[in-house]
Structure 1
Amino acid sequence: MKFLICANYLPHVLNFRGKLLEAIAKLGYEVHVLAPDPKAHTEDYNTLVNSGYFIHSIPMQRTGTNPIADIKTLMVTYRLLRKIKPDYILSYTIKPIIYGTLAAWLAKVPKRFILFSGLGYTFQEIEDTNQRSVFQTLIYSLHQQALAKSSKVFFQNPDDLNLFKKLNLLKSTTPTVIVNGSGVDVADFNVLPFPHDDSGNIKTSFLLIARLLKDKGIVEYVEAAKIIKEQHPAAEFHLVGYIDENPAAISQSQLDEWVANDIVNYWGKLNDVRPAIAASSIYVLPSYREGTSRSVLEAMAMGRPVITTDAPGCRETVTEGHNGYLVPVKAVNELAAAMEKFIVNPELIAIMGQESRKLTEEIYDVHKVNEIMIKEMGLVNKMA
């Protein structure tokens, strides 16, 4: 039998769904991957091919709503699915969810699953204003059509599920499941010692890993860093990520200014984030909304306390005062105050870091998350 995953960016398939596909392949399923321009990502492409997976290219613009381009995406995906004849399809991110699911329905793929790993700025704005733009109305309508054709929908936090119900995007008859994010392989993210200063004390070194989008709280992170540096100039602020083709992206000039003014130490885009986490003592994600942040889970697995927002997909990772602190969305002063707690009480860093690791092992282990998804998709061991 054949299992197919539809995505909008090949490297993310390996990074976020690699362990899931590995587990499915071990059950005896033939694994297929649909993504735009896969051969442009040579290393990831070769890794997936060497794993025995079949990789297929589809035309897809990651951003924008060009009707002609999107219809082409739908039709090419449909023709490929008719040729491959998968028994199961899992689609995630906006365009694969919409066009991958609709194409699978047209191609009569028996089992069609959707995974929401985050909702993005289109859904963030509706919560802020409670008003729909023309663009939002279109996107919500397309989601509604795709969801109606799905066999089951996975969400990574209860808030996203409740929002979809509130917006009437989900039929009451469509099965839904909440999973604990994408999970993290705790065996790959070992607890490492904290960085120390010249006196042998734990260094107050903060880190944020994200695509450089405003709704990831990048600006709030920098503004809080400015406040902290006025009182505690030795504090370090690290930033890992890249400027995305996204309406919410910060500008290159903004980033250059922050670096030039020595506010942040910019690492650029990293394929392996572990060195950056090892160089930090506290992880910070002031995001406006997440599915469940993978970077938070990776930092927690390496024994780092977390400061994040009391927002969907963020609040689930932190028990207030236990493994970190929660702050309101867009609240720079509160964010700086939470940072200062670790500076004034450095002993909390190690104590809360231990709790982060424990929480990751108990709830967010990728193998536990994948076990739930495999069961909910009805996949069975074909090798038995």
Structure 2
Amino acid sequence: MKKILFNITEDWFFCSHFLERALAAKKKGYSIAVISKENNHKKLIENNGISFYPVPYNRKSINPIYEFSILFRIIRLYKKIQPDIVHHVAAKPIIYGSIAAKLNKIKSVLNAPVGLGFVFSSGSIKARILRPILKFLLKKFINSHIGENMRNKVVFENYDDLNYFIEMGAVNPKYGCVIKGAGVKVKKILESKKIRNKPTITLVARMLKDKGVLEFVSAARQLKANKINARFLLVGDIDPYNPSSLEKSTLKKWNDERIINWLGWVNNIEGVLKETDILCLPSYREGLPKALIEGAAFGLPIVTTDTVGCRDVVEDGVNGFLVPIKNIDKLANRLSELIKNKTLREKMGKESHKIALSKFSSSIINSETLKLYDELFFESHF
């Protein structure tokens, strides 16, 4: 049987960004397995007929002894599973998985450096120290293992990242490509939306500084001080394994002060988006944020930053606004413009839906991913 192995740091991220594509591949006759840290999603993965192998990835760890133990565990698992294709997602799986694939003579490797995370987006001392090390390792491993069939692929979520790695000399343009994010289900006809006098502005993300949460809260504070009538929601949990994570006490304090409403983790994100009028993500850097794609699919106007990944979803002045990173005044001004103008919100929301339907629907993303899998499998067997 044709076998694909996903190597990914978090089980929840597999479910949110890759489960649908894995099930599409399963439907086409592929056997699917996942190597990941076990959080709360193992049962969901296994209930979908996918084998799960726990590996205790620690995204904060730089302990060499611990990291070598993870590498050896992955090497043993690759030898046991013997997949036809391995799909590595994010930095550690790419580095460790490429070594394991090389040693086990895996036929085809697909590396996906999604997001690039804290090390590339943060200006902290730790990030600045780690960045050149991670760049060196990615340059060494992202395109070095070309599989027994000599057709390794490197998949990015946006062209900014693809071009960055090509210019860095890490990726051969022949083997680099772009698949725009995780894909979402988009209804062909946009449901009519009630235009509220007191609109709700929502930020959906992990509660990280690098997601622009501080800027969002500061803009909310500024708008409320100016008597702008709106409700501000933060939707998402903290991430203790990310150095950029906010503290729960900080979020609760803002909530108690009624600057924002912090909902924490929400299973039914559709319910939240149905009650949202404007989606906001002032992130410092993204791969291609699923929250923005979901908001576009629901026909929401979007205010986000003019940065990698975010500008792939928003055309400035068409379906939303792009603002400079960390610029609270411009963020507040653009939000205010949409809060006060119902007609503009409705117009931009319709444009968001058109963009989601034409670029980011699950059918498009699943088809592009399956085409890659089939290409890799065919070239390694025939």
Instruction: Please confirm whether the aligned pair reaches a TM-score higher than 0.5, indicating the same fold.
Output: yes
The corresponding residue for 1:291 is: 287
The structural deviation recorded for 1:174 is 5.8
**Partner residue in 2 for 1:183:** 183
The answer as to 2:67 corresponding to 1:66 is: no
Give 1:178 shift.
Answer: 1.1
For 1:350 and 1:55, locate their aligned partners in 2 and report how far apart those are by CA, in whole Å: 44
Match of 2:332 among 326, 329, 336: 336
Q: Secondary structure at the match of 1:20?
A: helix
Measured after TM superposition, the shift of residue 112 of structure 1 is 0.6
TM-superposed deviation, 1:125 = 4.8
Distance 1:228 1:71 in 2: 50
Q: For 1:343 and 1:334, locate their aligned partners in 2 and report how far apart those are by CA, in whole Å.
A: 14
Q: Which amino acid aligns with 2:43?
A: N
Map 1:116-265 → 2, pairs under 5 A:
116-125=113-122, 133-147=128-142, 148-150=144-146, 151-168=152-169, 170-172=170-172, 175-187=175-187, 191=190, 194=193, 201-245=196-240, 246-265=242-261
Distance, in Å, in 1 between the alignment partners of 2:194 and 2:198 is: 6
Residue 195 of structure 1 contacts residue 278 of structure 1 at CA under 8 Å; is this kept in 2? Answer: no
Name the SS of the counterpart of 1:259 in structure 2. helix
Task: State, as a whole percentage, how many aligned pairs show the same letter.
Answer: 32
> 1:4 & 1:341 partners in 2: Cα distance?
47
SS at match of 1:5: strand
SS in 2 for 1:56: strand
Greater CA deviation, 146-155 or 204-213?
146-155
Corresponding residue of 1:113: 110
Q: Does 1:91 align with 2:88?
A: yes
Report the number of matched residues.
Answer: 369
Segments of 5+ residues of structure 1 without an aligned counterpart are none
| 1:195/1:279 contact within 8 Å kept | no
What letter is aligned with 1:356? S
Deviation at 1:302, TM superposition (A): 0.9
The residue correspondences of 1:13-32 to structure 2 (distance < 5 A) are 13-32=14-33
Q: Secondary structure at the match of 2:318?
A: coil
User: CA deviation digits over 1:72-117, x for unaligned, max 9?
Assistant: 1111111111111100000112211221222112111110111122
Distance 1:301 1:353 in 2: 9
**Contact 2:203 2:279 survives alignment (8 Å):** yes
SS in 2 for 1:135: helix
Q: Is the 1:61–1:69 contact (alpha carbons within 8 Å) kept by the matching residues of 2?
A: no
SS in 2 for 1:8: strand
Secondary structure in structure 2 of the residue aligned to 1:211: coil
Is 1:101 the counterpart of 2:98 in the alignment?
Answer: yes
In 2, the alpha carbon distance for the partners of 1:93 and 1:115 equals 6
Residue identity matched to 1:23: A
- In the TM superposition, what whole-angstrom CA distance separates every residue of 1:136-170 from its partner, at most 9, and x where no partner exists? 232222212221225110011111122223433x1
Amino acid of the structure 2 residue aligned with 1:184? V
Query: 3-state DSSP class of the match of 1:242?
Result: coil
Task: State how far apart, in whole Å, the 1-side matches of 2:42 and 2:65 are.
Answer: 28
Distance 1:357 1:271 in 2: 22
CA 1:146–1:271 in 2, change beyond 3 Å: closer, same or farther? farther
CA 1:352/1:110 → structure 2, altered by over 3 Å: closer, same or farther? same
Q: Which amino acid aligns with 2:52?
A: I
**What does residue 79 of structure 1 align with?**
76
2:108 and 2:376 in contact (8 A); partners too: no
1:122 Cα deviation (Å)?
1.2
Aligned partner letter, 1:163: Y
Q: 1:358: Cα distance to partner?
A: 1.2
- Distance in 2 (CA, whole Å) between partners of 1:34 and 1:157 is 25
Distance 2:106 2:136 in 1: 22
Mean Cα displacement is larger for which, 138-147 or 22-31? 138-147
Deviations along 1:215-234, whole A, 9 cap, x unmatched? 10001101111111122342
Distance 1:285 1:238, change over 3 A: same
2:366 to 359, 370, 383: 370
**1:300 equivalenced with 2:296 (yes/no):** yes
**In the alignment, residue 302 of structure 1 is paired with which amino acid?**
F
2:149 equivalent in structure 1: none
TM-score in terms of structure 2 length: 0.91
Measured in 1, the distance between the counterparts of 2:42 and 2:226 equals 48
Decide whether the 8 Å contact of 1:208 with 1:284 is kept in 2. Answer: yes
Do the aligned residues in 2 keep the contact of 1:194 with 1:203 (CA within 8 Å)?
no
Report whether the alignment pairs 1:52 with 2:49: yes
Tell me the secondary structure at the aligned position of residue 18 of structure 2. Answer: helix
306, 313, 322: which one pairs with 1:310?
Answer: 306
1:193/1:278 contact within 8 Å kept: no
Contact 1:59 1:76 in 2 (8 A): no
Aligned residue for 1:357, secondary structure, equals helix
CA distance in 2 between counterparts of 1:291 and 1:132 reads: 18
SS at match of 1:61: coil
Counterpart Cα distance in 1 of 2:331 and 2:179: 28
Q: Is the 8 A contact 1:181 1:292 kept in 2?
A: yes
Residues 203 and 281 in structure 2, CA contact (< 8 A), matched pair in contact too: yes
